Each structure stands twice: as structure tokens, then as C-alpha cells.
Amino acid sequence: MRARSFTLASSRLLLIAVCALWSSPRVNAETGAEAWLRYAPLSPQVSKSYERLPSTVVALDHSAVLKAAQQELIRGLTPMLGRTFTASSEFVQGNSIVLGRLAEVQALAPKENPPEPLGGDAYWLKSTRIHGSACLVIAASTERGVLYGAFEVLSRIAREESVSNLDEVQQPYAPIRWVNQWDNLDGRIERGYGGPSIFFADGKVRDDLTRAGEYARLLASIGINGCTVNNVNAAPAVLEDSFIAQVRRIADVFRPWGVRLSLAVDLSSPRVIRGLDTFDPLDPRVAEWWRKKVDEVYRQIPDFGGFVVKADSEGRSGPSAYGRTHADAANVIARALKPHGGVVFYRAFVYKHHLDWHDLNNDRAKAAYDNFHPLDGAFDDNAIVQIKNGPIDFQVREPVSPLFAGLRRTNEAIELQITQEYTGQQKQLCFLVPMWKEALDFDMRVDENSTHVKAIVSGRVFDRSLGGFVGVANVGMDANWLGSPLAMANLYGFGRLAWNPNLSAETIVDEWTHLTFGADPLVIATINKLQLRSWHVYESYTGPLGAGTLTNILGNHYDPGPESSEGNGWGQWHRADKQGIGMDRTIATGTGFIGQYPPEVQKLYEPLADCPDKLLLFFHHVPYTYVLHSGKTVIQHIYDSHYEGAEEATAFIAQWKALEAHVDQERYRDILSRFEFQAGEAGKWRDGICSWIYQLSGISDQKGRVGNSARR
Ligand code: GCW
């Protein structure tokens, strides 16, 4: 009896172990560290369809970037396809995957030509025969381009797409595809929700930079080519010579992945660090200081990317101290960088945070345009004005910044926020790609022509040589980078949009889900749907109708706190009072902000009757009883939207639960607990905002949920 039960038990154990090995073919536990680069084994049937993919990976030169591309292909293809791939440093007869710059490839196969020229970091994927052997060629004019091509091949295979009969060129839409990290030198990250800094601890660069290297690999896999490692609220100490020597170690781990390192700098550095009694950008001694400093940086980091500057903003020092302009400040730094090929990003996030809130003509939204439009044409050609997508500050709903159309002779980059400062701080699901798409696809109608924001910032509309996309990422030491597994779709999506803003949100999320969770159709359909609904849901229970994120702006930027917006100088006003709500930004009766847009856009927003509901309260102050295009009153819309949003957030739980048997337990449980938490938070928001607005307006909910019950 005992012997029998022993046998049974042990055979059951064996069975479980075998099943576990077979059914969860995972290399690592699902910590999220691999993000979308999981390279999970494909089913035998799918692997078979790649049996003609050559097993030798040839790198035609010995550069670190090409080696990284070669190693990455081997690292990914081996587990995905369950066979051995080997590296070779030269082409010898035999079927091969061939990696090289175009000239190197053409030396081997002189007749081969890409179907279109390979500009910038573009790559060419070509199936061909070289000396009689079947080859998949990945070629580019830069090493970085080859690396991007290798990642693309891996992504296609991971998503079970064909990689045969290829002859295609993929061009990045814009040259600037950067992330900013707001890491402080003590290791904390401003608005970071994924743990402490991967770069800094205790005022120094970390000894162990393994994560920094892994981050660069992730960034490269989505085409990001630059990373600013420290907070725009910059510690002057980053420019101490001893610190530059430390930062050099970060650049060293970035380099194989083609990611250029950059630093955020404080404009007063010439005075603060040592030496000068001024930081006046027009003082020749200051110019000389920047020149020498930049020379030192490039001595240590020859491929250094450049600087980011936040000046005259939120208490930072700036050129106003000397009566100089932002262009003066940007140019003194740009000129020091120019001989080395570096660029300076000068942030347009400049506004007064001590505005008189009694004055209805004051409007923070006008600040960027007011400050920068008059300087158009005054910035050097290696300076880029970095503009947040909206005129306020990464709220859940804003119109695009009018400054995009207001700079014709100045390089621009759009700044998007990947870290969810005002959109749930990674505790709640908010997939931001649909929101970014709305901004990028917005047609500014400059000179009555089709001039989409994406085309303007990339430099196409006004024929600028530099321009593009900057994302504030704020990954941290948490294994899963952003603190939440589903939030990684935002980092992935930012990179994909920076490479090609014409991709749809649906395509991007579909790619991400497949790469991150595998091929199960139910899993893909469910997660895609959750992600694609999440921004609208979050908006509906936080700040509908363009009122802004009605959050606690004086505290954590997370909890409901609509009162905190009013009665202070920060200018995130919604102007709700007993009669109505919204900021009058019209030309006729309001702050005049609408006048900063080109005429056709003005026509969209100025007439109350035409203004889209979703932005109504951003542009107009209306009574609570004002009737929307939907036929509902404003107040009823606010009640309904909060209830519907909270209900939909609660329904996320059941949708997720349907995946229990389809997703590994680690991620299943983690994400389930997040949705349960979010449902509670959504209820808190619904009740907080509905009772606040009921108390202000005295108008109860027609559906009996707010106000009426209090009276009953
Ligand atoms: O929204 C604000 C954030 C600050 C940030 C600032 C900026 C880095 O609350 O934390 O500072 O924007 O973008 O400079």
C-alpha cells in the first residue's frame, strides 16, 4: 500500500514537473525584466516554418554595435527556434544571416542595391544569394541601423511573421528619438514609480551598471538613440570633472547599443561649480567656460549626445537673471557643443508659478508660446526647443501646444511623458499611445495646409535638419522597470511612435502584447482591449470634458483634489464656481490663448457651439446646465462619466480573470491585484469629484446617484 502510494505520488510529481517544463517554456521567472524581449520558444510547428533561416550569423566588421547585433540574434533565435545559431566574423560560403554596413555588404554582393536610399539609421532587410548561398542580409549606413534591423527580424519571428523573400527598407521618421530620465544623484527619481535610479546612488554613479546596459538594450530594440540620464531639475555637480569621469562609465555600457548619453545641466553651472562670478550667457568668460567644459566631456565621452536645459522654470535659474533671452542661453551652450556634433535641448516648459489667480486674463497655457514664439529664428542650428505635447503639463486631456506651429525657423522636439505622473502613476492602467496619437496626428493647418504635429516636429514641414521625439521614461531598479508590467506598453509605444508615428495604436499594442505575453489569441485580444480602453476610462473618472486632471496638484498628483487647483498661482485652474466650470480661453472674452493657434484651429475652438465636447472646459467657461453636443448637460455628463468610468474600471477585473489559465501565475496575480486596486481608486475618484461638484453646483444627478440620496 505504502509502496503503491509512493509510486503514485512520485509519478504525479514527475508528471507535474514534465508538464511544467513543457507548458511553460520560460527561460526566466516572469519578473518582467525581459520586457518585450522574452524570446520565448515558439511551438514546434511555428519553429519549423523558419527552418530555412540560416544558422550562421556573420558580422562583417568588428565594431561593438555590430557585435551586439550579432549576439542579440543568437541570444534570441536560439531559444525561440530551439536550435543552435553560431557567430562568424567573416562570410565563408554557406547560408548566412549577414550583418553589415551597406558598403561592406556591397563589397560581397556588388549587384545588390536597396530599393530606396538608406538615410540616417534606416535599415534594409534583403533575402538574396551571395556566392550561391541563401542569405538574409541586414544592412544600413550606420551600425545603429544594422542593430535596429536585427531587432526587427527578432520581433517578427517572435510574432510569428515571415522573414523570407524580404526586400524592404525601414526609415526612422525623425533623427531625434530620445528618452529623458528624471533621476537625481541621490538615487531618487522625480515622478518615478519603478524604484530607485539604475544610474545613481548616494551622490555617485552606481558601481554596478548592469541594469543601465540592459536598459540601453531595451531602448535600442525600439529604435531609441539617446538617453538623458539625470533630472532636468539638474544638480550642477554633474559637470564636475570628477563626476564626468563617473558618467563616462554609463556611456560605456550604452555604446554597444547605439544609445548616446546626454546630461541635463543647470544654466548657472559656470558660477555654481567654481570659477566665475556670473553665468550671463553673453559674457565671453561664460562662453569660454562652456567650451572648456564641453571639451572635457568629449575627451571622456567621444560620442556624447548633448545637454538638456530647464531654465527660468519652477525656480530654476535662467537667462532672465541677466536680462538675456532663452536663445542667448541655448546658443552659448550650443556653440560649445557644435564642433563635437552635440546638440542642446532647451525646454519650452517656462512659466510663472506665482500668477495672480484673481486675474481672469492670466493663463499659464499661454506661457510657452509667449516666451518662445518671439525668438523664432534666433536659436542656433544644433539647438532644439523641446515642447510638452500640451500647453499645461501632461494632463489627461489637453489640446496640443500652439507653439508647434509657432516656430518655423527653429528645431523642435515633442516631449511626451511615459511615466504616468498625472495618469495613475503606474498604479492604474493608462495606455497613453492613443493620447499621443491624437497630439501627433493633430493638423495645425499652418498656412491653411495640412501640417500635422508629427510632421512639424520631425522637421518636415519647415524643412529643419533636426527634430523629433523625447519621452520622459523614468524606469527604475524594479525588476519590471516601470513598476507595473502593463505600463511597459507605454515605453514600447513611445519608441515605436518615434520610429513611425503613422503606426496605429492598435498595431502597436498588438505587437507589444504578443511579444510580452505570447501568441494565445484570447490573451492578446483581452490585453489589447484593456489597454486601448484604459486612457478613456481613466479620463472619464478623473477629468472629463477637458477640465484637466482634477488631482491634488499641490501634493502627490495622484489623488482627487480639485480644490487644490484654485486659489494659488500655479495656473492649473478649472475655474469651477457655483454657476459653472471651465477656463475661458477665447479671444473674444477670455485669456486669448486660442489666438495663439493658426486661424483654422482658432475656428475649431473659439465658437462655443463648435468646440468639441472633450475639450470644452479647457477652452470655455460654461454653466453646469450647458447642453453638450451629446445632448446632456455638463453636470449630468460629469456624473455619468464618473459612474461609467468607475464601472468600466471595475469590469477590468472580470476581463482579466478570464485569462487565469492563460497567463503565468506571477503576472496573472500581480496584474489582478492592480485591477482590484484600481477599481477602488476609481470609486474614490468618482465619489470625490461627484460630491465636490454637487456641493458647488447644488444640482443633483438625474439618475439619483449624487445629491438626491443625500436629500432622501
Ligand atoms: O509637471 C512638472 C512635474 C515636475 C517636473 C516638471 C518639468 C522635473 O511635476 O516634477 O520637474 O513638470 O517637466 O520640468
Question: Using one digit for the tens of pLDDT, what is the confidence trace for 639-650?
Answer: 999 999 999 999
pLDDT averaged over the chain?
94
Contact 418, 222 (CB under 8 A): no
Cα gap 90→86, rounded to integer Å = 12
* pLDDT at position 316 over 60: yes
Which cell goes with 529? Answer: 482591449
- Across the range 204-225, mean pLDDT stands at 98
Mean pLDDT of the region 669-693: 97
In the set 116, 168, 314, 577, the catalytic residue is 314
> Is there a catalytic annotation at residue 214?
no
Least confident of 232-236, 502-506, 706-710: 706-710
Integer Cα distance of 212 and 217 in angstroms: 9
- For residues 338 and 545, the answer to whether their CB atoms sit within 8 Å is no
Q: What's the whole-number mean pLDDT along residues 14-41? A: 65
pLDDT of residue 328: 98
232 lines ligand 1 (CB under 6 A): yes
- Is 703 a residue whose pLDDT tops 50? yes
Q: Which residues pair with 177 in a beta bridge?
A: 469
Beta bridge mates, 205: 200
191 CB near ligand 1 (under 6 Å): yes
Say if ligand 1 is within 6 A of residue 362 CB.
Answer: no
Could you give the C-alpha distances from 197 to 204, 212, 231, 479, 636, in angstroms and in order? 11, 9, 11, 12, 44
Confidence at residue 24, expressed as pLDDT on a 0 to 100 scale: 41
The CB of 492 under 6 Å from ligand 1? The reply is: no
Among residues 109, 174, 172, 103, the alpha carbon closest in space to that of 136 is found at 109
Q: How far is the CA of 155 from the centre of ligand 1 (A)?
A: 34
pLDDT classification of 77: cutoffs 50, 70, 90: very high
- For ligand 1, the distance from its centroid to the CA atom of residue 311, given in whole angstroms, is 12
State yes or no: pLDDT of 10 exceeds 50: no
- Span 410-438, mean pLDDT? 98
Check pocket membership of 47 for ligand 1, CB cut-off 6 A: no
**Which atom of ligand 1 is nearest the CA belonging to 472?**
13
Q: Give the tens place of pLDDT for each residue, 434-458.
A: 999 999 999 999 999 999 999 999 9
Q: Give bridge partners of residue 634 from the DSSP assignment.
A: none
pLDDT in tens, 318-363: 999 999 999 999 999 999 999 999 999 999 999 999 999 999 999 9
Q: What is the pLDDT of residue 445?
A: 98
Q: Give yes or no: 506 in active site.
A: no
Q: Is 421 a catalytic residue?
A: yes
CB 496 less than 6 A from any atom of ligand 1: no
CA of 264 to the centre of ligand 1 (A): 13
Beta carbon of 363 within 6 Å of any ligand 1 atom? no
Which protein residue's CA is at the shortest distance from atom 3 of ligand 1?
191
Least confident piece of the model among 121-130, 469-478, 618-627, 701-710: 701-710
- Find the catalytic residue in 214, 393, 398, 412: 393
CA of 129 to the centre of ligand 1 (A): 54
Q: In which band, very low, low, confident or very high, does the pLDDT at 25 lie, cut at 50, 70 and 90?
A: very low
CA of 349 to the centre of ligand 1 (A): 9
pLDDT > 70: what percent of the chain? Answer: 95
**Is 22's pLDDT higher than 70?**
no
Q: Assign residue 592 a region: left if phi > 0, alpha if psi is -120 to 50, beta otherwise?
A: left
pLDDT at 403 over 50: yes
Return the residue whose CA atom lies nearest to atom 11 of ligand 1. 233
Of the pLDDT bands very low, low, confident and very high (cuts 50, 70, 90), residue 27 is: very low
Longest CA–CA span in the chain (Å) reads 95
Nearest Cα residue to atom 12 of ligand 1: 393
Give me the phi and psi of 90, to 5 degrees please: -150, 160
- Residues 364-368: what's their mean pLDDT? 97
Least confident of 226-235, 478-487, 515-524, 542-551: 542-551
Q: Which residue has the higher pLDDT, 683 or 2?
A: 683
Instruction: Answer yes or no: is pLDDT of 17 > 70.
Output: no
pTM of the model: 0.95
Catalytic residue among 34, 183, 421, 701: 421
- CA of 183 from ligand 1 middle (Å) equals 12
Per cent of the chain over pLDDT 90 is 93
Q: Name residue 344's beta-bridge partners.
A: 307, 383
Tell me how far the alpha carbon of residue 184 is from its chain's centroid: 19
Residues sharing a CB contact under 8 Å with residue 695, sequence separation 6 or more, in sequence order: none
pLDDT of residue 1: 32
DSSP label at residue 633: B
Mean pLDDT, to the nearest integer, of 82-88?
97
Specify the ligand 1 atom closest to the Cα of 388. Answer: 13
pLDDT for the residue numbered 693: 96
Instruction: Judge if the beta carbon of residue 182 lies within 6 A of ligand 1.
Output: yes
**pLDDT value, residue 548:** 80
For residue 574, the CA-to-ligand 1 centroid distance in Å is 20
Average pLDDT on 91-95 reads 93
**Residue 20 clears pLDDT 80, i.e. is over it:** no
Q: Is 349 in the pocket of ligand 1 (CB under 6 A)?
A: yes
Cβ-proximal residues to 348 (8 Å cutoff; 6+ apart), any chain: 368, 371, 372, 385, 386, 387, 388, 401, 403
> Does the pLDDT value for residue 251 go beyond 90?
yes
Is the CB–ligand 1 distance for residue 190 below 6 Å? yes
Top-confidence residue, 685 or 28: 685
In this prediction, residue 275 carries a pLDDT of: 81
Closest ligand 1 atom to the C-alpha of 393? 1
Q: Is the CB of 127 under 6 A from ligand 1?
A: no
